[in-house]
A = this chain, B = another copy of it.
Amino acid sequence: MSITDHDHPIDPARVAHAQNRLPSLEDASRLTSLLSLMADPVRIRLIYALDVVEELCVGDLALALGVSEDAVSYALRLLRTAGLVVTRKEGRVVYNRLADDFPAPLRDHCLRQLVALTRSAPDD
């Protein structure tokens, strides 16, 4: 609130239009916390891997991704807390898989399409 604080919208119609359609701060926060969970190289590759092979344990996941088991464990912790990943315990190994209610658009479009998009991006 420090710069100008002009009290007259320059384009009141557009401001009103935008306000009407705008998601609430609460909805936006929920959405961004979801996106934040995917906005990490380790986590997105982890999710991608689970999307492909159904389930993996921490050690194998670390091998597949080429990162430390600590990193995988931490990533899984966050995803589990958010309900995006569930575990199945078999003996002493814990298998991880994407939750059944993993957001479909996130899986179909953001994950697969965006990976393809980023791959073929000519510039940047």
Contacts and interface: CB of A to CB of B under 8 A. Distances in A.
Contact of A22 (B11, B45, B59): B45
Interface residues of A, number: 68
Interface of A: 1-6, 9-11, 14-15, 17-19, 21-23, 25, 27-36, 38-41, 44-45, 48-49, 52-57, 59-60, 63-66, 68-70, 73, 83, 93, 103, 105-106, 108-110, 113-115, 117-119, 121, 124
Contacts of A34: 114, 118
A44 B41 CA distance: 20
7 contacts: A3-B68, A5-B69, A10-B93, A15-B56, A22-B65, A29-B41, A32-B40
